[in-house]
Amino acid sequence: ASESKIQIEQATLRQLTTQVGALEQENARLREDLAAFENLVQGDGKGGGLVLSRFRVEATTTPGQYRFHLVAALNGANKPSEFIGMLRIVATVQEGGRDVSIQIPGPNDPAAAQYQVTIKHLRKLEGVFSIPPGARLKSVEARLMQGGVVKATQTVIF
């Protein structure tokens, strides 16, 4: 009975330790989100405009496939009432010993419509992209474009 009680207590302790670790990670993520949102709300002091933040790129369980997340916001005193444009992802990969840029969506891509964005205040943007088999991801740049002109960018380097 004593051994059984000790085993139950040890199992409970392991579970609680795991839960505390998960809560600490969630708390850190929420603190980062709060800091990013505070920066977006405060503006950059240059009249305002379109701002990208919290750009993250993570590998999925499928080889060569990546998921991206970012936050786009209009901020500042002179911010526009809304942004209507397109999100373009530019992935730089090393393939066959040379660097190659992959644009998503590509020219004549039937999925280009899903990269059209409208931002009134704040918007979370996310999606998935793939690189060729055997290629190594070096960097990913998110671009918000309007009328073919880049309005905001943010880059992640691997």
Select from 115, 95, 94 the least CA-distant residue to 104.
115
- Global pTM reads 0.71
User: What would the pLDDT profile of 103-123 be if each residue is shown by its tens digit?
Assistant: 998 878 888 888 999 998 888
Calpha distance 53→33 (Å, rounded): 10
Annotate 128-145 with b (16+ C-beta within 10 A) or e (fewer).
ebebeeebebeebbbbbb
- Mean pLDDT per block of 10 residues along the chain (158 residues) reads 95 97 93 75 58 90 93 75 92 92 87 88 89 93 92 91
Calpha distance 108→85 (Å, rounded): 17
Q: What is the pLDDT of residue 47?
A: 46
